[in-house]
Amino acid sequence: MSLSSSRAMAGTEAVTLESLRKKMADFARERDWEQFHSPRNLLLAMVGEVGELSEIFQWKGEVAKGLPDWGEEEKQHLGEELSDVLLYLVRLSDMCGVDLGKAALRKLDLNAAKYPVHLCKGSSGKHTDNPSGANENPKSGGGATEGL
């Protein structure tokens, strides 16, 4: 992936998970890095990047939506760390043979069934706190914060 093609893509084309997957595969292949991209290695690298992302927020306390009190340099750094996490996630899903887009849509559907609007609107409770036991499905994930 050349820098110029990345810049062109960012300015003119819609970014999709598939386009990122292809660019990451090309990037790794061009550098002969595929040998290092086992699922375990990618996961551990991604966790490291999540740590770097967490570090940005560590001493900030709660921040307002849109980060109005942040400078442009801080926002750019945040974007870089978010991108690192996204790119590792896309590469990990590719190396695991998981269609990340389809998996995410399926998860949204599962969460919609687990957290019906009429029972959950405005609540941060777990699905097991819902008055209807019909929403309990231990195989589909954990609490409300996991659903996002």
Query: What is the sign, positive or negative, of the torsion defined by CA atoms of 107, 14, 92, 98?
Result: positive
Confidence of residue 126 (pLDDT cuts 50, 70, 90): confident
pLDDT at 123: 84
- Can you give the pTM of this predicted structure? 0.78
Residue 122 has pLDDT above 70, yes or no: yes
Amino acid identity at 44: L
User: How many whole angstroms separate alpha carbon 95 and alpha carbon 92?
Assistant: 5
Task: Check residue 118 and report its DSSP letter.
Answer: H
List, in order, residues 6 or more apart from 57 with CB less than 8 Å away.
63
pLDDT tens digit string along 33-69?
Answer: 999 999 999 999 999 999 999 999 999 999 999 999 9
